[in-house]
Amino acid sequence: MQDLSENRVLIYIFGASGDLAHRKLYPALFNLYRKGYIKDHFTVIGTARREWTNEYYRNNVLKSLEELPGSFNQKFSFIQHFHYQSHDVTDSKHYDTLRELGESLDRVYETQGNRIFYMAMAPEFFSTIAEHIKSQNLLSDTGYNRIIIEKPFGRDYETAKALNDSISKAFDEKQIYRIDHYLGKEMVLGLLPIRFSNPMFEQVWNRKFIDNIQITLFEALGVEDRAEYYDHTGALRDMVQNHIIQILALLTLDKPEKLTAEALRAQKEKLYEALRIYPIKEVAKKFVRGQYGSSDIPEHEPAYRSETKVDPNSKMETFVAGEINIDNDQWRGVPIYIRTGKRMPEKQTRVDIVFKASDQIFDKPADKTIITIDIEPTEGISLLINGKKIGLTTDPVGYQLSYHHSAEQLAEVLDAYERLILDVIKGEATNFSHWHELEATWHFIDVIREYWDNNAPTDFPNYKSGTNGPEAADQLLKQSGRSWVYNPEPRTKR
Ligand SMILES: NC(=O)c1ccc[n+]([C@@H]2O[C@H](COP(=O)([O-])OP(=O)(O)OC[C@H]3O[C@@H](n4cnc5c(N)ncnc54)[C@H](OP(=O)(O)O)[C@@H]3O)[C@@H](O)[C@H]2O)c1
> In sequence order, what DSSP letters do the residues of 100-144 get, joined into one string?
HHHHHHHHHHT-TT-EEEEE-S-GGGHHHHHHHHHHTT-S-SSS-
Rounded CA-CA distance 48/130 in Å is 15
Q: Going by DSSP bridges, is the β-strand pair 348-355/370-376 parallel, antiparallel, or unpaired? A: antiparallel
Catalytic, out of 243, 404, 405, 436? 243
Residues 143 and 212 in one domain: no
Contact 89 CB / ligand 1 (< 6 Å) = yes
Contact 15 CB / ligand 1 (< 6 Å) = yes
Please state which of the ranges 10-19, 46-55, 411-420 shows the lowest mean pLDDT.
411-420
For residue 295, name the pLDDT band (cuts at 50, 70, 90). confident
Is the peptide bond preceding residue 335 cis, with omega within 30 degrees of 0? no
Contact 123 CB / ligand 1 (< 6 Å) = yes
Judge whether 243 counts as a catalytic residue. yes
Residue 431 covered by a domain = no
Residues 119 and 213 in one domain: no
How big is the CA angle at 400 (ends 322 and 246), to the nearest 5 degrees? 30
- What is the DSSP-derived secondary structure letter of residue 37? S
Residues 194 and 339 in one domain: yes
Residue 279 covered by a domain = yes
55 is in an annotated binding site: no
Rounded CA-CA distance 277/326 in Å is 9
141 is in an annotated binding site: no
What pLDDT was estimated at residue 152?
87
Residue 265 covered by a domain = yes
288 is in an annotated binding site: no
Residues 265 and 355 in one domain: yes
Residue 179 covered by a domain = no
Rounded CA-CA distance 177/423 in Å is 10
Residues 335 and 204 in one domain: yes
HSE-up (13 A, CA, CB side) for residue 270: 16
CA of 14 to the centre of ligand 1 (A): 8
**Is it the case that residue 494 has pLDDT exceeding 70?**
no
Residues 138 and 197 in one domain: no
Residue 191 covered by a domain = yes
Contact 121 CB / ligand 1 (< 6 Å) = yes
Contact 247 CB / ligand 1 (< 6 Å) = no
**Residue 277 belongs to domain with CATH number:** 3.30.360.10
Q: What is the position in ligand 1's atom list of the atom closest to the CA of 152? A: 47
Rounded CA-CA distance 159/154 in Å is 5
> Final residue of a domain: which of 150, 175, 194?
150
Residues 137 and 211 in one domain: no
Residue 422 covered by a domain = no
**What is the mean pLDDT of the segment spanning 364-391?**
96
Residues 226 and 298 in one domain: yes
What pLDDT was estimated at residue 491?
87
HSE-up (13 A, CA, CB side) for residue 351: 27
Residues 23 and 119 in one domain: yes
Contact 172, 235 (CB under 8 A): no
Domain count, the chain: 2
Q: What is the pLDDT of residues 71-107, one digit of tens each?
A: 999 999 999 999 999 999 999 989 999 999 999 999 9
Arithmetic mean of pLDDT over the chain: 95
Residues 200 and 59 in one domain: no
Question: In a mutational test of the pocket of ligand 1, which residue from 12, 14, 19, 119 has the highest number of ligand atoms less than 8 Å from its CB?
Answer: 19
For residue 2, name the pLDDT band (cuts at 50, 70, 90). very low
> Final residue of a domain: which of 129, 150, 171?
150
- The radius of gyration computed from the CA coordinates of the chain, to the nearest angstrom, equals 24
State how far Cα 324 lies from the chain centre: 19
165 is in an annotated binding site: no
Give the range of the structural domain holding residue 84, as residue numbers without chain letter.
9-150
Question: In a mutational test of the pocket of ligand 1, which residue from 13, 47, 49 has the highest number of ligand atoms less than 8 Å from its CB?
Answer: 49
Q: Whose CA is nearest to atom 48 of ligand 1?
A: 20
* Phi, psi (deg, nearest 5) at residue 72: -60, -40
Residue 18 covered by a domain = yes
134 is in an annotated binding site: no
Nearest-CA neighbor of 373 among 205, 156, 149? Answer: 205
Residues 324 and 403 in one domain: yes
Beta bridge partners of 289: 320
Q: What is the pLDDT of residues 347-370, one digit of tens each?
A: 999 999 999 999 889 989 898 999
**Is it the case that residue 5 has pLDDT exceeding 60?**
no
Q: What is the pLDDT of residues 428-482, one digit of tens each?
A: 999 999 999 999 999 999 999 999 999 999 999 999 999 999 999 999 999 999 9
**Residue 24 belongs to domain with CATH number:** 3.40.50.720
Residues 288 and 407 in one domain: yes
Residue 324 covered by a domain = yes
Rounded CA-CA distance 494/482 in Å is 30
What pLDDT was estimated at residue 6?
81
